[in-house]
Amino acid sequence: VGFCLMLDLQLVGRAADYAADIIAELQREPADLVVANDMLLGVQLGCEAIGQPFVVMACNVMPYPIVPGIPPMGPGLTPAVTDADHALHAEVRAGTLAIFDSRLDLYNSARARHGLAPLEHLVDQVFAAEKFLLATTRAFDFAPEEIPDFVEYVGPQLDDNKWSKPWTNPFPEDDQRPLVLVGFSTTFQDHAGILQ
């Protein structure tokens, strides 16, 4: 349900709005290259519509089946080894594509309004990009030895942000209790119980 909401509210439902925004911005101030987030398909659509070179940047490749051998998004599978593993991966990947493609007609309507041919699968939009950049390391994706030239690992983006402040230890310097750092996803995944 959550993923379908994301399709409706961001990836597909607002794609025409994102396309209009990027086209208007590029007309106001042209760019040599646009770096588009992988989840903003409308930005990619807009760039493709006006012939604007762009790359897609993602934190992982899992939603897009563009690297053979990488486990599919969702259940946290490790790389397939057995025939049963391969069959399970294929089934999960097909299910993910089916969810994406449940909004394909709506997305293709937006593409048609911009004079673009329909896609066979919603995730095919990324192939209009010059490159698919992954802001992570190969180890996190279980990347195989050979990956398509279209995909490039550029490492995590760890530049200091401008909105956070340096951490100040709230405990006395002689406090011997262990200090534990806990990191969670950037999206809410019902962490309340774990935090407690």
Rounded Cα distance, 23 and 31, in Å: 11
Q: Give strand ranges (E) for 17-146.
A: 34-37, 54-58, 132-134
For residue 104, the model assigns a pLDDT of: 94
CA Rg value for the chain: 20
Rounded Cα distance, 117 and 76, in Å: 34
For residue 49, the model assigns a pLDDT of: 97
In eight-state DSSP terms, residue 9 is I
Instruction: Decide: 40 and 63 in contact? Cβ < 8 Å.
Output: no
Rounded Cα distance, 184 and 161, in Å: 18
At 28-81, the pLDDT tens digits run: 999 999 999 998 999 999 999 999 999 999 887 666 777 888 888 777 888 899
At 161-184, the pLDDT tens digits run: 777 778 788 889 899 988 777 776
At 95-151, the pLDDT tens digits run: 888 988 999 999 999 999 999 999 999 999 999 999 999 888 877 777 778 888 999
For residue 188, the model assigns a pLDDT of: 67
Q: Nearest 5°: CA angle at 37, between 31 and 43?
A: 60
For residue 187, the model assigns a pLDDT of: 65
